[in-house]
Amino acid sequence: MKDNSFGSLCPLFCGLHNKNLSTRERYRCMRNSMLIAMLAITLIPMAIISGINFVQYRQLLQNESYANARWSAESARATINAYLEKMEAAITVVLDSYTFEDLTDQQQLDQIFRRLKEEHQGLVDIGVIGSDGIQITYAGPYKLVGKNYNDSIWFHKALTRKIYVSEVFTGFRNFPHFVVAASKKGSASSQDSWVLRASIDSETLDHFLASVNTGALEDIFLVNDSNKLQSSSRYHGTVLEDFKLGNKPKQNDILISGEGSNGSFYRAVSRIPHTPWFLVLDHQGYAKRGDWHSFKRGLMLTLISCSLVLGCIIIWLSAFIAGKLREADEMREAMLSETEHTDKLASIGRLAAGVAHEINNPLAIIGEKAGLMQDLLEMDRDFRYREKFIDQLDSLQNAVGRARTITHRLLGFARRMETSLTLVHLNDIIREVISFLEKEAAYHNIHILLQLQKELPVIRADHGQLQQVLLNVINNAIDAISNAMVTTNNAMEAINNEGEIHITSSCDDNKTVMIAISDTGPGMSTETMKNIFEPFFTTKGNEEKKGTGLGLSITYGIVQKLGGKIEVNSEIGIGTTFIITFPVYSERSDGNGHN
Amino acid sequence: MDTIKILIVDDETEFGSTLAERLELRGFAAKAVSGAEEALTVLTSDWRPQVVLLDLMMPGIDGLTTLDLIKKHDPRIQVIILTGHGSTESGIIGMRRGLFDYLMKPVDIGELVSKIKEASTV
C-alpha cells in the first residue's frame, strides 16, 4: 500500500520514501527537514523584521545627527558673524566719526584704541595706512609705524571695498592674526584714500568657536579657500597648517556629508559671509551615540534570546511530531498487518470449507462402500479371508473417520460456529475447564496455578465455545510442557522435571477482561508464532498426539466471533503466553456483546 | 411392524445406491434416486416412503426446494438432510420448513439408522 502520509507535503520529506534508508534514518531525515523548515519559517521573518527595525532606527538617528550638525553649524556661523559685524561696525563708526587728521594724531588714535580694546575682545592693534601702503599712525604693542603694506593683498582689497575681513596670516607681527580694514576717500589736500585697519588675534576665533562647542561636537574650525587652517582644529592641526577641504558650499548653503567609517561623524561646511573663511564642523554621528549602542545591544539580545527559545521549541516540536507520526505509522502498519492476517485466515477458512465440502462426498462413498462390504462379510461367515478383510475394512473406516473429523472441523473453522450468547463469568469457566484437565496435567507432573481476580465483570459469550477456547489453549500448554519433558535425554532429569501453567484473569480498565495462560514449555520461534493461528499448522510431530493443526485456528475464529482478541508471546527456553481479551458486558452493549 | 420405507435423493448415485443397499441389509426398504424429479415420481407412485434422505446440493432442483415439494406433497413424510455441503444457515432454513434433522456426510451408519427410526416414529 502506498504511503501517503507525508508524500504530498513537501519535497523536503523525500527522504521518507527513500527505500535505501532504514526506517530510523527516514524518520530522522523527516525530523531534520521539519526542523529546518520550521526554523526557516520562524527565524527568517524575525531576522527580516529585526533588520528593518535596525535600518529604520539608524535612519532616524542619522536624520537627527544631520539636523544637529546643521543647527550647530548655523549657530557657530551666527556667532562668528555677530562678532565680525560688531567689529566691522566699530571700525566703520571710527572711520565715520573721525577725520584723517584726527586719526593720524597718535594720542587720539591711542585713545580710540584703548576704548575699542575694552569693548572688543581679541583686538591687538589699530593703525592708519595711507594710499601708498605706508602705515602713518599705529596704536598697539608693536612698532609698526612706517611699515609698508603695499605688497599685502589685504591692503589692496581694503582700498577697493568699504570694509574687508582678511585671511589669517602672520605678517610683521609674526603671529597669526587677521585684519578688519575699512577705507575712506580723503580730501583734496590730503591722501586720496586711506585705510583704518584693526588687527585681531586669531585665538579670538578659537575662543568663539569653542563657545559653540557642545558634547556632540567632534571638531570645529575655519579654513580658507587656499586650504589653510584659520583656527585651531582638534584633529587637523593649528592655525595656518594645511587642511584639504573637499566640496565647498555655494553662498550661504550648509553642506553636510557623512564622514568617517560607519557614520562616526557628519561634516557641515558653511561659508561665513563677507570673509574668506569656511566654517567646518564635525558633528558626532549616530555610531558614537550611546542610545544607538544600547539599541543594538537590545536588538541583538532579543534576536539571540528569541532564536534560542524558538530553536529549543522547534527542536522539541519537530522531534515530538516526528515521534507521533512514527507512532501513528507503526500503529497503522500493525493494524494493516492484523487485517491482512485476519483476511488471510478468512480466505484460508473459505478455501478449507470448499475443500471439505468437496471431499465429504467421495469420502461418504468410500465409507458407504466399505460399510457395505463389512455388512456383507458379516453375513458370510464362510469366506476364507473374512477376518483379514474385516480388519482391512475397519482400518479403512477408521481412516474415513479421521478424514471426516478433519473436514467437519474445517467446516467448523470456516463457520466459526453458531453462538448462543449468555452472560458468563470467566472465572467459573476457567475452573470448569481446569477440572477437565487437572488429571492429565498431574499425570504429566504439571501444576496449574490460578490467579483469578475476584468479582471479575461478566462478559457476553457462548459458554461452550469459551470452554473450547480455554481447552484448546491449556491442552496445547500441557502438550508443549510434556513433549519438552519427554525429549529430555537424562531420565532422572525427566522424572524430576515439573512444569507449570499459570492462568490469570484480570480487568484493569473496566472495559476488557483478560485471561493470560503462560506455560513453562520450550517456547517457540518468531516464525512459528506468525503461523500459529493458521489452519493445518502444527508443531506436534509426535505420532501419538499428532495434531490436526486446527485447534488454534478454531480458537482464533471463536475469539474473533465473540468480539475478543487473542495474542501470543513466546520466548524460546522460557515459555509461551496466550493473552485472550473480551469486552466487558454492559447494559449499553449491543446484541453481539460489543461495547 | 411394517418395514420402514426410505427414499434416498442424491445426485451421487454411487453413494445413494450403496447406502440403500446397506439400509436394506438392516431391514429397511430403501430406494435411491438421483434428483428431485425422480423423487417426486416415486412419491406419486404406490411406494410411499416414511423417511426421505435428501442431499442439499444437487444439479437442477436443489435440496431445500425439493424439501418444499416433498412437504407440499405429503407433510407426514419426514426428511433428513444428508449432505457434504452443509452449512448451519441451510440447516436452520430447512428446520423452519419442516426438516426433521440435518446430518453431515460421511455419516456413521448406526447414527443414521437411529435417526431414521426416530423420524419414522413421529
3-state secondary structure of B33: strand
Q: Residue B6: pLDDT band by 50, 70, 90 thresholds? A: very high
In a domain, A537, yes or no: yes
CA B84 to chain centre: 14
Nearest CA in chain A to B112: A368
Interface of B with A in 17-76 (CB under 8 A): 18-19, 21-22, 25-26, 57
Q: How many whole angstroms separate alpha carbon A442 and alpha carbon A491? A: 18
Q: How many whole angstroms separate alpha carbon A255 and alpha carbon A269? A: 5
Query: Which H or E run contains A281?
Result: strand A277-284
Q: And the C-alpha cell for A32? A: 531534520
pLDDT per residue over B100-116, tens digit each? 988 888 888 999 999 99
Which has the closest alpha carbon to A548: A448, A441, A476, A463? Answer: A476
Nearest CA in chain B to A401: B106
Distance in angstroms between the alpha carbons of the first and the last residue of chain A: 31
Which has the closest alpha carbon to A506: A579, A567, A557, A577? Answer: A579
Residue where one domain finishes, among candidates A287, A315, A341? A287
Shortest distance, CA B22 to any CA of chain A (angstroms)? 6
Chain B residues lying within 8 Å of A379, measured CB to CB: 25
Q: How many whole angstroms separate alpha carbon A274 and alpha carbon B58? A: 134
In a domain, A195, yes or no: yes
pLDDT of residue A11: 47
In a domain, A90, yes or no: yes
CATH number of the structural domain spanning residue A503: 3.30.565.10
Mind listing the domains of chain B with CATH numbers?
5-120 (3.40.50.2300)
Q: And the C-alpha cell for A460? A: 457476553
Mean pLDDT of A101-126: 89
In a domain, A595, yes or no: yes
Q: Choose among A364, A368, A371: nearest Cβ to B84.
A: A364
Which has the closest alpha carbon to A388: A398, A401, A377, A375? Answer: A377
3-state secondary structure of A174: coil
Task: Give the count of domains, chain A.
Answer: 2
| Cβ contacts of A508 within 8 Å, gap of 6 or more | A514
- Residue carrying the nine cell digits 558614537: A288
In a domain, A36, yes or no: no
Give residue A232's domain range. Answer: 62-287
Q: Quick one: A18 exposed, middle or buried, by C-beta within 10 A (0-12, 13-18, 19+)?
A: exposed
Preferred mutation among B12, B13, B15 to probe A, highest tally of A CBs within 10 A: B15
User: Is residue A262 domain-shared with residue A121, that is, in the same domain?
Assistant: yes
Q: How many whole angstroms separate alpha carbon A581 and alpha carbon A569? A: 14
In a domain, A51, yes or no: no
pLDDT per residue over A386-442, tens digit each? 888 888 999 898 888 888 877 877 776 555 544 567 888 899 889 888 877 777 788
Residue A21 has pLDDT above 90, yes or no: no
In a domain, A221, yes or no: yes
Q: Residue A580: pLDDT band by 50, 70, 90 thresholds? A: very high
Q: Residue B8: pLDDT band by 50, 70, 90 thresholds? A: very high
Contact A199, A149 (CB under 8 A): no
Contact status of B95 with chain A (Cβ, < 8 Å): no
Cα A553 to Cα A409, A544, B81, B102: the distances in Å are: 10, 21, 28, 25
pLDDT of residue A365: 92
CATH number of the structural domain spanning residue A188: 3.30.450.20
Shortest distance, CA A553 to any CA of chain B (angstroms)? 19
Chain B residues lying within 8 Å of A408, measured CB to CB: 104
Q: How many whole angstroms separate alpha carbon A545 and alpha carbon A285? A: 101
Are the beta carbons of A372 and B105 separated by less than 8 Å? no
Q: Choose among B12, B25, B83: nearest Cβ to A365.
A: B12
Q: Residue A213: pLDDT band by 50, 70, 90 thresholds? A: low
Q: What are the φ and ψ backbone dihedral angles of A300, each rounded to 5 degrees?
A: -65, -40
Contact status of B98 with chain A (Cβ, < 8 Å): no
Pairing verdict, β B5-9 and B51-54 = parallel
Q: How many whole angstroms separate alpha carbon A119 and alpha carbon A513? A: 115
In a domain, A252, yes or no: yes
| This prediction's pTM | 0.46
Chain B residues lying within 8 Å of A359, measured CB to CB: 84
Residue where one domain finishes, among candidates A234, A267, A287? A287
pLDDT per residue over A457-508, tens digit each? 989 888 777 887 888 898 889 888 887 766 554 544 545 568 899 999 998 8
Q: Choose among A360, A371, A376: nearest Cβ to B84.
A: A360
Interface of A with B in 370-389 (CB under 8 A): 371-372, 375-376, 379
Residue where one domain finishes, among candidates A254, A287, A320? A287
Pairing verdict, β B51-54 and B78-83 = parallel
Contact A204, A186 (CB under 8 A): no
pLDDT of residue B52: 96
Mean pLDDT for chain A overall: 82
Are the beta carbons of B25 and A379 separated by less than 8 Å? yes
Chain B residues lying within 8 Å of A407, measured CB to CB: 84
Are the beta carbons of B18 and A365 separated by less than 8 Å? yes
Q: Choose among B22, B57, B104: nearest Cβ to A375.
A: B22
Q: Quick one: A459 exposed, middle or buried, by C-beta within 10 A (0-12, 13-18, 19+)?
A: buried
